[in-house]
Amino acid sequence: MRSLSIFGATGSIGEQTVDLLTRAGGADAYRVVALTGGRNVARLAEMARALRAEVAVCADDAGLPELRERLAGSGVEAAAGTAAIVEAAERPADWVMSSIVGAAGLAPGFRALRHGSTLALANKESLVTAGPLLMAEAARHDARILPVDSEHSAIFQALVGEDIAAVERIILTASGGALRDWPLERLATATVAEALAHPNWSMGQRITIDSASMFNKALEVIETREFFGVDPDRIEVIIHPESLIHSMVGYRDGAVMAHMGAPDMRHSIGYALNWPERSHLPVARLDLAQIGQMTFRAPDLARYPALRLAREVMARRGLAGAAFNAAKEVALDHFLAGAIGFMDMAGVVEDTLTALDPGLGHENDAMTLEDVQAVDHLARTRAGEIARKQAGER
Ligand code: NAD
Ligand code: MG
């Protein structure tokens, strides 16, 4: 029986993973090792009981008494705290879903690679902050990383049987998010609720806002660079409002392989779960005659400064990705709290990168997990100061 763990089981990706496992037979089909969650202790306990997990861990220490109580008599161990989450990743499992949101997802995924596990990576922040480190750790332990982000799963699938050397370009599609049709001058006034109204995908709150600002696409361009090892100038972004083509790979003979499907994350999660086989998945089938048409347009860089910043981060490499991601998370926190405007987020990130430069230009092979965590911490402090200053000026 295959063993597996899910880090971030109570989130959007985690719930969809649990849905697929449950449909595939749940605890009768898989040995579930660890499930982790954040504050939703009730849901975590419920899924841990249903899947007969060995251990359930909530991120917040304060949640432990409730978790223990809810798991009493079930045989599921209860634990809490960041260290306990990393400890849970030390328990061997054949397949590990990394679906915690943000930089907090890096350490458990990194640790899971030591067992030579297959790491299904939804947490794109891991590759943005520590790509070279993560890929080297996977190689060292003969572990495998499978992308779960829909674009990267699409690219991965369009590369099957092909030689990466024959790739001329990778074209990432972007929905453009909730505000894509707003006039540029109105964007500064966008509220959290408006930025959350994503037209196609149902996702966690943070990634939905990042989708509207295209910080999500910026992270994904860097993720592409790190995961597939392609040169940044071979990575393009195109807005495709229908979200039916999940990304494309262009080859040197001019052929373009596009991956299509309904916008449903259970496809990429299921692909990573069943890989290298394909099994039936409960996703809607495309009816192209009914869809009729698909449209595309180039992203306007004035609307999406995040895309320009991603290019700068890729030019610097080293620890710039860790600083970029941390500053982005802090800027997003301030936007969510109503302290800064939608268009101020990019300013906070850019000013943080400028403030921390040139300390970011480390050689990649000198990078350790501790270096990444130190820069993450430093960037959060600086970004917080910059965001508070911005908020004061509003
Ligand atoms: P979410 O907010 O719905 O869920 C996040 C999970 O992480 C929850 O279980 C939450 O409790 C847990 N968590 C949050 N902060 C934590 C912390 N500090 N320590 C430990 N656990 C913590 O997020 P999501 O939308 O499921 O996204 C998860 C990851 O997958 C992100 O990296 C996101 O970029 C990526 N991703 C998501 C989608 C999507 O459709 N939702 C698509 C592609 C990639
Ligand atoms: Mg994506």
Cβ–ligand 1 contact at 125 (below 6 Å): yes
Judge whether 33 lies within some domain. yes
pLDDT value of residue 366: 66
Residue to probe by mutation, ligand 1, list 207, 209, 243, most atoms within 8 Å of CB: 207
The answer to whether residues 250 and 369 belong to one domain is no
Residue 148 Cα to ligand 2 midpoint, Å, equals: 8
Same structural domain, 107 and 162: no
Atom in ligand 1 nearest the alpha carbon of residue 100 = 7
Q: How far is the CA of 173 from the centre of ligand 2 (A)?
A: 9
Q: Which residues lie closer than 8 Å to 214 by C-beta, 6 or more apart? A: 174, 176, 177, 299, 303, 304, 306, 307
Q: Give the burial class of 315: count Cβ atoms within 10 A of its Cβ; 0-12 exposed, 13-18 middle, 19 or more buried.
A: exposed
Q: Is 207 in the pocket of ligand 1 (CB under 6 A)?
A: yes
Q: What is the pTM of this model?
A: 0.97
In short, whether 201's Cβ falls inside 6 Å of ligand 1 is yes
In a domain, 394, yes or no: yes
Can you give the length of the chain in residues? 394
Using the 3D structure, point to which of 259, 284, 307 is the last residue of a domain.
307
Measured from the CB, is residue 122 less than 6 Å from ligand 1? yes
- Within a domain: 302: yes
Q: Strand, helix or coil at 305?
A: helix
Q: Kindly identify the ligand whose nearest atom is closest to the C-alpha of 247.
A: 2
Q: Domain boundary at 81, 114, 147, which?
A: 147
202 and 264 share one domain: yes
What is the Cα–Cα distance from 350 to 328, expressed in whole angstroms? 9
**Domain that residue 256 falls in:** 150-307
282 shares a domain with 195: yes
For residues 133 and 276, membership in a common domain is answered with no
Task: List, for residues 215-251, the tens digit of each pLDDT value.
Answer: 999 999 999 999 999 999 999 999 999 999 999 999 9
Same domain for 187 and 271: yes
Domain count across the chain: 3
Are 179 and 300 members of one domain? yes
Q: Is 176 in the pocket of ligand 1 (CB under 6 A)?
A: no
- Condensed to tens digits (0 to 9), the pLDDT of residues 344-379 reads 999 999 999 999 986 666 555 568 999 999 999 999
Q: Are residues 290 and 348 in the same domain?
A: no
CA–CA gap between residue 338 and residue 91 (Å, rounded)? 40
Does any domain span residue 12? yes
| 3-state DSSP assignment of residue 278 | coil
Instruction: Report the separation in Å between the CA atom of 18 and the middle of ligand 1, taken as the mean of its atom positions.
Output: 14
Residues 196, 244 within the same domain? yes
- In a domain, residue 371? The reply is yes
CB neighbour list of residue 188: distance below 8 Å, 6 or more residues apart: 341, 342, 343, 344
Q: If you measure from the C-alpha of residue 254 to the centroid of ligand 1, how many angstroms do you get, rounded to a whole number? A: 37
Nearest-atom index, ligand 1, CA of 149: 43
Is any ligand 1 atom within 6 A of the Cβ of residue 263? no
Contact 8, 47 (CB under 8 A): no
- Do 300 and 361 belong to one domain? no
> Sheet holding 30-37: strands in order across?
77-80, 55-58, 30-37, 2-7, 95-98, 118-121, 144-147
> Does one domain contain both 50 and 154?
no
Chain-centre distance of CA 136, in angstroms?
A: 19
Q: Specify the pLDDT at position 317.
A: 86
110: tokens are: 């990194």
Q: What is the CATH number of the domain that holds 15?
A: 3.40.50.720
For 156, counting Cβ atoms within 10 Å of its Cβ (0-12 exposed, 13-18 middle, 19+ buried), the class is: buried
What does pLDDT average to in each consecutive run of 10 residues of the chain (394 residues)?
Answer: 98 98 98 97 98 98 98 98 98 98 96 96 98 96 98 98 97 95 95 91 91 97 98 98 97 98 97 98 97 97 96 93 97 97 98 85 70 95 97 85
Which ligand is located closest to the Cα atom of residue 246?
2
Query: Is residue 130 within 6 Å of ligand 1 at its C-beta?
Result: no
Q: At what angle do helices 344-356 and 215-228 cross, to 10 degrees?
A: 50
- The CATH number of the domain holding residue 373 is 1.10.1740.10
Residues 6+ apart with CB under 8 A from 233: none
The ligand 1 atom nearest the CA atom of 123: 32
Rounded Cα distance, 336 and 326, in Å: 15
Predicted pLDDT at 363: 55
- Number of C-beta neighbours around residue 131 at 10 A: 21
Residue 66 domain-assigned (yes or no): yes
| Residues contacting 329, CB < 8 A, separation 6+ | 102, 103, 206, 380
User: Is residue 373 assigned to a domain?
Assistant: yes
Report pLDDT for 57. 98
User: Rounded to an integer, what distance in angstroms lies between the CA atom of residue 118 and that of residue 109?
Assistant: 10
Q: Would you state the structure tokens that stand for residue 262, as one six-digit string?
A: 């309904």
pLDDT of residue 200: 83
Tell me, yes or no, whether 72 lies in a domain: yes
Q: Note whether 166 and 286 are same-domain residues.
A: yes
Q: Give the end of a domain, one of 116, 147, 178.
A: 147
